[in-house]
Structure 1
Amino acid sequence: MGHVTEQVGKTLLFDLDGTLVDSFPGIRESFLHTLTVMDWEIPPEERINRVPGPPMEQTLQDLGMSPEMAQEGLQIYLAHYGEVGWDMSTEFSGMRELLIRLKEQGYRLCTATSKGERFAERALRKFHMFDLFDFMGAAQENGPRREKSAVIRHVIDHVDLTAGDPGLDRVLMIGDRSHDIEGAAQFGIDCVAVTWGYGTPEEWAHARHTVTDAHELERIIHEWT
């Protein structure tokens, strides 16, 4: 029980896609469906591999769509993902078991995902992770909270933390993309980059730590002070 007491007040923010769950097959399917419906050129596979992470409308604008077209594309994407894509995901090995151990050890667990709230909850419930989290921080599917930094602020505001508060040094972000690292950095929060997701070594280089499996992640969390 001493270990539990030691961790009280320590908050872990978990990204979802690429960190807890491999959702790329469904994201890819719905992304390609969106481009086909909009009669838009399909980008190379290397570009498609970088789609998970940022808000979809941002990705569509990066491909050359106007903000208005990107919003239209977002709605096509969400409709298809809600019907087909969301259920094509699988759990990354060892992550649910790690969450259970961290919960038992007294860490406060929150998600901080750019995935919309409805789909985030579906994914977490599918893999029996939802009840392990103290708070689910996610993006709004039809609202202003879309960027990762906005999601992190949403979590901070709802778990008795304050941006700029020294207590944020007891918060750690775990994610796989530059958006996780950069979003956490805006609040002075360290980030652990996981290599089993969708990021690149260039992105991970900006994280405080980089880990290759759930056991290494657990060790880093326990060493973190």
Structure 2
Amino acid sequence: MAKKLCIFDFDGTLFDSIDDVIFCFNKVLKEYGFPTLTRDEYIPCLGGNINDIVSKVLGKNSTPQNVEIIKDVYLDCYNSSKKERTIPYPHSEELLRNLQDKNILLAINSNRLNYSLNEFVEKYFSDIDFVLIEGHNVDYPSKPDSFGVNNIIDKANVSLDEAVYIGDTIIDIRTAQNAGIDCVVVKWGYGQDNAFNHEYPIGVIEEFSQLYDLLDINYF
């Protein structure tokens, strides 16, 4: 069935954001005497909500108290930074505009906090009319729970067969599975072999242009 709704993950799918995250986390970890991490060590920590990420970053030093302290200071550091290293992947805006012009509904579902999502969308994708932007709300379940996807599908008023989830990690695959919708995995983000070799996605793509053929959408 033709897709009427494309739901995109944010970090590692639409935006390359890890360098700002690494810079702020390492600054805070060093300040509090915890070991800093390399880029390769950070990548497996990503995908969950902020509490999950902080807990993984802290590793053996993860306690409820340490998670709260590092989370709060990290968010202060991150929110006050210029975030100049966080930019859309090449051709992401072109893809979204083309899909929108073809009357494909668009949405974002992320474990990034809502205010942060809106900040970047307003800065870089102000011409895109998203049906809904569902970030992490501490009062509701985060991915891989299907809560956000369910809200998006209800708002878009489409069937499950008409929706597809596009993301880069195993968390995104599980989110799509839990929602009962198809999934496409992208290889340019922060995903690993457990996502690229998973049997559930309908396809794995290496560039945005491949999405048109995969979803049978005419580029022109």
Answer whether TM exceeds 0.5 for this pair.
Answer: yes
Residues 28-39 of structure 1: pairs in structure 2 closer than 5 A: 28-39=22-33
Residues 53 and 129 of structure 1, relative CA distance in 2, 3 Å threshold:
farther
What residue is the counterpart of 1:23 in the other structure? 17
What residue is the counterpart of 1:114 in the other structure? 111
Residues 127-138 of structure 1: pairs in structure 2 closer than 5 A: 127-129=124-126, 131-138=128-135
What residue is the counterpart of 1:126 in the other structure? 123
The answer to whether the 8 A contact 1:116-1:139 is kept is yes
Aligned with residue 217 of structure 1, among 208, 211, 214: 211
Q: 2 CA distance for matches of 1:76 and 1:124? A: 24
Q: 2 CA distance for matches of 1:74 and 1:221? A: 39
Deviation readout 1:79-123 (Å, 9 max, x if unpaired) = 111111634211111110110111111111110011111110111
The answer to whether the 8 A contact 1:110-1:155 is kept is no
Aligned residues: 212
Residues 1-225 of structure 1: pairs in structure 2 closer than 5 A: 10-62=4-56, 63-64=59-60, 65-84=62-81, 86-129=83-126, 131-140=128-137, 143-145=138-140, 147-150=142-145, 152-160=146-154, 167-206=159-198, 207-222=201-216
Secondary structure, aligned partner of 1:49: helix
Give, as a single letter, the amino acid of the residue that structure 2 aligns with 1:105.
Answer: K
Deviation readout 1:11-40 (Å, 9 max, x if unpaired) = 111001111111111111112123123211
Residues 210 and 59 of structure 1, relative CA distance in 2, 3 Å threshold:
same
The answer to whether the 8 A contact 2:26-2:36 is kept is yes
The answer to whether the 8 A contact 1:27-1:85 is kept is no
Q: CA RMSD in A?
A: 2.5
Residues 85 and 184 of structure 1, relative CA distance in 2, 3 Å threshold:
farther
Consecutive unaligned residues in structure 2, runs of 5 or more: none
Residues 77 and 85 of structure 1, relative CA distance in 2, 3 Å threshold:
farther
Consecutive unaligned residues in structure 1, runs of 5 or more: 1-5
Identity %: 22
- Scaled by the length of structure 2, what TM-score is found? 0.86
Q: 1 CA distance for matches of 2:103 and 2:115? A: 27
Residues 48 and 130 of structure 1, relative CA distance in 2, 3 Å threshold:
farther
Q: 2 CA distance for matches of 1:18 and 1:129? A: 20
Give, as a single letter, the amino acid of the residue that structure 2 aligns with 1:114.
Answer: N
The answer to whether the 8 A contact 1:135-1:155 is kept is no
Q: 2 CA distance for matches of 1:12 and 1:105? A: 12
Q: 1 CA distance for matches of 2:188 and 2:5? A: 22
